[in-house]
Amino acid sequence: MSEITSSIPLQINPDLQEERDKASFNVTELTHIIYGGIEKTKKRKRLEKLLFSDPFFQEYQNVRAFGSRSEYYAASVKKSTKIFKLRRQHKWTDEEYETVLDICHDDLALTLHHTMFIPALERLATEDQKSKWLTLAKQYKIIGTYAQTELGHGTYLQGLETTATYDPQTREFVMNTPTLSAMKWWPGSLGKSSNHALVLATLIISGKKYGMHPFLVQLRSMDDHKVLPGVRVGDIGAKMGGNSVDNGYLILDNVRIPRNNMLMKNAQVSPDGKFVTRGPSKANYATMMLIRVQICTMAYQVVSSGATIGIRYSAVRRQSKLDPQDREPKILEYQTQQYKIFPGLAMSYAFLFASRSLTRKYEEAFAEIQRGDFKSLPELHCLSSGLKSFCSEHSVRQVEIIRQSCGGHGYLNAAGLGMLVNAAAPMITVEGENTVMYLQLARYILKRFAGAMSGQQLDGSTSYLSMDPATYVCPVMSETDCRNLTALCDIYRYRSYMTVCRVARQVQHDMESDMPQHVAINKNLVDLVRAAKAHSYYIVVKDFVEGVDALVASAPVIKVLRTLCCFYAAHGIAEYSGDFLESEAVGLHQLKWIKNLQVSLLGEIRPDAVALVDAFDYHDITLSSALGCYDGNAYERLFKSTENDPMNKEEVHPSYYQYLKPFMEEMNKSKL
């Protein structure tokens, strides 16, 4: 017993080293591909070194694990301000700053200032307004949030109740929260951190409503951070996760702001109260679309972090017996363990390619929109809505499966997986609740399908809806065909086509039976979501296949990625086999072959599993997991983590003197 210490061995756990030694490809080459080249990897490493040379970043983890809500929030404010200062000092570009946020792997107290407040100013303010407000925001002379959601409405933006009534006498807007349900509720950084908020409110001029518009409202004094007259603001309380952020409530009572505080890029109110719009009516929704695109990248980061922890731990954890003559095997040897974790590994690479492709499309469309050309907006809105929902839903579910695959230790905070699941869970809700976003995509697909039926030539992500289904023959004719990525992609495309076609015909049939449109739609909502999911799955598989096909890399790297891509596609067909059979994208024979392939691919991925997660190159502080550390010394790190537990500070806990001791004394004296 005396040999048991909590010190961490210097060497890599031999079980993990053994895995690294048998990798079939060069891990560094794949890391460079993931981060977009050698230079970007080097830059990230430099930033990592700069950040983590400050002991605060290590200490922060203890506060996160063991601190009170208030201590955690304070440490998070400290971390945000440290990063802001470093940004100014080193003149980081936006890209470098985003890399730093990725390295931190955290939703920080003041992150919203950068992720939403600044992008909203960039998208919604006029040039004059930008030169004032954006400059102040970028110099951290004001700290802001994006206050849209209310207690009564988040999804239905037309139902927002906060009002901005124009007063032409004083040339001001009067901001009001007319009811309990109208109070802003949820905005991040609102409760305690921000001194300004971009408040989305219904514009009223001379008693007439003009829809939702953005207004810049000062909430707190710039001298002492005290709340300004007419403003009531606070924190909404502890959440399942993300407790470093002060999501807040806000009540405005006749708060007057100058006319120029309405962000007027897309619509203007003249001094005498005339309303003029420019561009499409949804132009003010631009910031949400950006974040939806970013959520796909976050989903990649979430699932790849989970896969890293699950796979490294499974390579060092030994349990039970496979061969009765042999020692206990690594749990990674069990086929069932591989079946739980490898879908998350394959998904990581699928989402890497899909989010990269979506980001590229977003950047191209954004450049067009800046030039006043809005033609790509509907396609981009629907693509980003679908992929945001798909990537968040699948990543959160998969990380929870990985957490369960780590047995009891997966349940400890020190494993990092519970925190990851809880932190990532809101991706499903924020920036448009997933079902609602899938339905936006479904609505677009139905319209495009109707267009195709009437002979329109379609382009973009829905161009396949012009296909003639009669020409479809399942491209998998033999077991070997199952490895053909193009064939697998065709199967997804046809499944999607048939799912869309079926629901479109049903809606049409219901409407032709004299059902009002809204009744017909509501009667088919479940199948509409199914169609949007089928379309999104097809896009992700297509992006993965095309991404791997376009790669310039060594043969071993291409081979391992093709294997993963094949597994990702085969696994999806096996998991949703009912849908694929029902749409006749595959028959029973093909399904059997694909299921066999899926299982045999587990064994092919197995030798490269650790190398494939090493390629994500997450720093130990970023992962924040005793189970997933690079050196594989999971038990030592778990034991070490107990040192920081305040419960272990005293040999005898104060509750003993307060409760247990008197209780024991009473029990011992008792005659019963």
Ligand X SMILES: Cc1cc2nc3c(=O)[nH]c(=O)nc-3n(C[C@H](O)[C@H](O)[C@H](O)COP(=O)(O)OP(=O)(O)OC[C@H]3O[C@@H](n4cnc5c(N)ncnc54)[C@H](O)[C@@H]3O)c2cc1C
Ligand Y SMILES: CCCCCCCCCCCCCCCCCCCCC/C=C/C(=O)SCCNC(=O)CCNC(=O)[C@H](O)C(C)(C)COP(=O)(O)OP(=O)(O)OC[C@H]1O[C@@H](n2cnc3c(N)ncnc32)[C@H](O)[C@@H]1OP(=O)(O)O
Binding interface with ligand Y (CB under 6 A): 101-102, 105, 107, 111, 146, 148-149, 154-158, 188, 282, 285, 288-289, 298, 301-302, 305, 377-378, 381, 420, 423-424, 426-427, 430-432, 436, 440, 443
- Integer Rg of the chain from CA: 27
Q: Return the amino acid letter for 95.
A: E
Q: Which is nearer to ligand Y, 129 or 305 (CB)?
A: 305
Residue 439 is a binding residue for ligand X (CB under 6 A): yes
* 431 counts as catalytic: yes
Rounded Cα distance between 573 and 487, Å, is 12
Determine how β-strand 163-167 pairs with β-strand 267-269: unpaired
The single residue among 235, 379, 433, 481 that binds ligand X, judged by CB under 6 A, is 433
DSSP character at residue 230: T
CB of 124 to ligand X, least distance (A): 14
Partners of residue 205 on adjacent β-strands: 208
Q: Which is nearer to ligand X, 495 or 530 (CB)?
A: 530
Q: Which is nearer to ligand X, 419 or 541 (CB)?
A: 419
Q: Return the amino acid letter for 583.
A: S
Rounded Cα distance between 586 and 598, Å, is 15
Rounded Cα distance between 482 and 569, Å, is 10
Q: Which of residues 329-358 bind ligand X (CB under 6 A)?
A: none
Rounded Cα distance between 73 and 243, Å, is 7
Residue 181 is a binding residue for ligand X (CB under 6 A): no
Burial class of residue 654 (count of CB atoms within 10 Å of its CB; 0-12, 13-18, 19+): exposed
Is 149 annotated in some ligand binding site? yes
CB of 147 to ligand X, least distance (A): 6
- The partner in contact with residue 247, picked from ligand X, ligand Y, none with C-beta cut-offs of 5 to 8 angstroms by kind, is ligand X
Q: Which is nearer to ligand X, 262 or 424 (CB)?
A: 424
Long-range contacts of 374-380 (CB under 8 A, 24+ apart): 374/279, 374/280, 374/283, 377/280, 377/282, 378/444, 379/444, 379/460, 379/461, 379/462, 380/289
Residue 430 is a binding residue for ligand X (CB under 6 A): yes
- The partner in contact with residue 102, picked from ligand Y, ligand X, none with C-beta cut-offs of 5 to 8 angstroms by kind, is ligand Y
Q: Which of residues 233-252 bind ligand X (CB under 6 A)?
A: 242, 247
CB of 419 to ligand X, least distance (A): 14
How far is C-alpha 188 from the geometric centre of its chain's CA atoms? 15
- The partner in contact with residue 461, picked from ligand Y, ligand X, none with C-beta cut-offs of 5 to 8 angstroms by kind, is none
Rounded Cα distance between 584 and 498, Å, is 8
Q: Return the amino acid letter for 185.
A: W
Q: Which of residues 243-302 bind ligand X (CB under 6 A)?
A: 247
Q: Which is nearer to ligand Y, 377 or 452 (CB)?
A: 377
Rounded Cα distance between 582 and 609, Å, is 34
Residue 426 is a binding residue for ligand X (CB under 6 A): yes
- The C-alpha angle with vertex 216 and arms to 212 and 220, in degrees rounded to 5, equals 135
The answer to whether the beta carbons of residues 492 and 572 sit under 8 Å apart is: yes
The single residue among 76, 80, 129, 148 that binds ligand X, judged by CB under 6 A, is 148
Residue 73 is a binding residue for ligand X (CB under 6 A): no
Residue with tokens 């991404």: 547
Q: How many other C-beta atoms lie within 10 A of the C-beta of residue 666?
A: 9
Q: Which is nearer to ligand Y, 72 or 567 (CB)?
A: 72
Is 191 annotated in some ligand binding site? no
Q: Which among 182, 186, 176 is positioned nearest to 146, based on CA atoms?
A: 186
The site for ligand X, by CB under 6 A, has a size of 21
Q: Which among 326, 292, 304 is positioned nearest to 431, based on CA atoms?
A: 292
Which candidate in 48, 172, 431, 636 is catalytic? Answer: 431
The single residue among 359, 435, 506, 596 that binds ligand X, judged by CB under 6 A, is 435
- The partner in contact with residue 40, picked from ligand X, ligand Y, none with C-beta cut-offs of 5 to 8 angstroms by kind, is none
Residue 188 is a binding residue for ligand X (CB under 6 A): yes
Residue 429 is a binding residue for ligand X (CB under 6 A): yes
Binding span for ligand X by CB under 6 A among 93-101, 186-194, 278-286, 376-384: 186-194
Binding span for ligand X by CB under 6 A among 119-127, 150-158, 167-175, 358-366: 150-158
Q: Which is nearer to ligand Y, 149 or 461 (CB)?
A: 149
Q: How far is CA 364 from CA 408, 437, 460, 549, in A?
A: 47, 22, 13, 22
Strands (E), 375-484: none
The residues annotated with a catalytic role in the active site are 431
Residues in the annotated binding site for FAD: 149, 188
Binding site for ligand X (CB under 6 A): 112, 146-149, 153-155, 186-188, 242, 247, 426, 429-430, 432-433, 435-436, 439
Binding site membership: which residues?
A: 149, 188
